[in-house]
Each structure stands twice: as C-alpha cells, then as structure tokens.
Homo-oligomer: A and B are copies of this chain.
Amino acid sequence: MSAAYIIEAEVIMPDFRRRSEGGLVERDPLGADGVRVDYGRGEEVFGEEEPAECVYRVISGVVRTSKILADGRRQISEFYLPGEVFGMETRAQHELCAEAVTDAKVFAMRRKPLMNLATTDCETARKLWAVTLHDLRRSQDHMLLLGRKSAHERLVWFLMDMAARLPADREVALPMSRQDIADYLGLTIETVSRTMTQLQEDGLIELHGCRHVVLRDRQALEIITAA
C-alpha cells in the first residue's frame, strides 16, 4: 500500500476516505475500482431519493434495502449477504434506502465510471445486467410470498432461504431482528414471534435464543414451502 494509492483513493472516494481502510483502492469483480467502507449496525448506506453515486458489494455483514411510507410502514425488499451487489436498482436516484443490518464492511464503487465501462465493455454490461436480473427473480418470488402466502408459509420460506444462503452450520444464525424479519415478510413482529414459537411447538424447528434456529424437520418444512 503506497502513498500514491491512498491519494488516489481520496480522489476517487472523498466521502469515504475517513472510514475506509487506509483508502486502499481495489478492483471489484465487476471491473470497477473502489474502496472498502465500514458501517455500524443500523447505519444508513444511502437514503431513498438520494442521488445514486455508488454501487456496492457486501464484503462482510448484512445490508437491507427498504422503502418506507410516510406513516412509518416499512417494506424490506432484500437482505444482501457477503458477495452480493446492491445499490444498482435505480437510475440517477436511489428508489430505496440501504442500511447495515449488522456491522458491515462494503466495497463501494463510483457509479459513473462503472457505467462508462459498461458502454464500452460488453462483459461488464452483462454482469451488471445479471445482478439486476438476479434481484428481479428474487423479487418475483417475494411478490408471490407477500401476495399469496400465509404467515407460516412466509416464515418457513424465509428460514429455508436463510439456511441456504448463510454459511450453514447445523444451526442458522439469523443476522437480523424480529422487526426486520417482519418488515421483510409483510407481517408484524408479534406474528413473526408467535409463528416462530408455533413452529417450535410443532417440532419443525428448534430455537436456541431468538437468533439461532435449527431446522429439525427439513422434509416437513419443504412441504410447507412447496404448497
């Protein structure tokens, strides 16, 4: 890490210089340069309606994107886990806000150079498209869940999804609060809690503290999600 690199980082990412790890410039698999930035739990990465300056990739921790109505009702569109890209869902302005669910380290790339690269390099353009397509596919499943599934089905789907996406020990370590889960599944925190308890009473899962879940009867759980 040379002094020249640090200076370059300052030029590229003035806002993040302070918080980034020494401002070292690195290259993302997307082909764009950027820096690592840390966010504390609950901290906002970008806000709704904010100009879209950067595109991000989660390095560690979890980030959520959400929309909030005037009266406070919130819908979380997605949780982004390490390796996943977010912040690209709009044009000039962000249409949702992004916040750190846990302490998180993200890789931030300036949007404009990335867009420029995409106009000359088809491979980059394809990658950006693939990221958006992935989000779209998940959001279509999410719409089916929100529009047509019961609380039980929603929660089971969520737990199975988390088990598949998180590093799977014998037990799943949920990184988010009940409120986050509720706002992701279109339920209230009470319903999430009650449903979780009932799944445990039915022997489908086992709770070790509220954030550690063991999927005890995967077959039964899969039947519920398939239904």
Task: Point out which of A90, A126, A149, A183 has the most chain B C-beta atoms below 10 A from its C-beta.
Answer: A126
Q: From the candidates B75, B91, B126, B185, name the one contacting A125 in the complex (CB within 8 A).
A: B126
Contact with B along A83-99 (1 / 0, CB 8 A): 00000011100011000
Q: From the candidates B122, B143, B185, name the one contacting A142 in the complex (CB within 8 A).
A: B143
Residue A73 lies at the interface, judged by CB distance under 8 Å to chain B: yes
Q: From the candidates B69, B96, B141, B185, name the one contacting A140 in the complex (CB within 8 A).
A: B96
Residue A118 lies at the interface, judged by CB distance under 8 Å to chain B: yes
Contact with B along A141-152 (1 / 0, CB 8 A): 111101111000
Residue A133 lies at the interface, judged by CB distance under 8 Å to chain B: yes
Are A129 and B139 closer than 8 Å at their CB atoms?
no
Instruction: Please give the distance in Å from A136's CB to the nearest CB on chain B.
Output: 5
Are B71 and A133 closer than 8 Å at their CB atoms?
no
Contact with B along A72-111 (1 / 0, CB 8 A): 0111010000000000011100011000000000000000
Residue A178 lies at the interface, judged by CB distance under 8 Å to chain B: no
A148 (CB) vs chain B CBs: closest residue: B73
Tallying the copies of this chain within the complex gives 2
In the complex, what residues of B have CB within 8 A of residue A91's CB? 133
User: DSSP class of A's interface residues: helix, strand, loop or mixed?
Assistant: helix
CA distance A114 to B143 in the complex (A): 28
Residue A128 lies at the interface, judged by CB distance under 8 Å to chain B: yes
In the complex, what residues of B have CB within 8 A of residue A168's CB? none
CA distance A103 to B212 in the complex (A): 52
Residue A164 lies at the interface, judged by CB distance under 8 Å to chain B: no
Instruction: Please give the distance in Å from A68's CB to the nearest CB on chain B.
Output: 9
Residue A137 lies at the interface, judged by CB distance under 8 Å to chain B: yes
CA distance A183 to B146 in the complex (A): 12
Instruction: Please give the distance in Å from A109's CB to the nearest CB on chain B.
Output: 16
Hey, which bits of chain A sit against chain B, CB under 8 A?
Answer: 67, 69-71, 73-75, 77, 89-91, 95-96, 118-123, 125-126, 128-129, 132-133, 135-137, 139-144, 146-149, 183, 185-186, 226-227
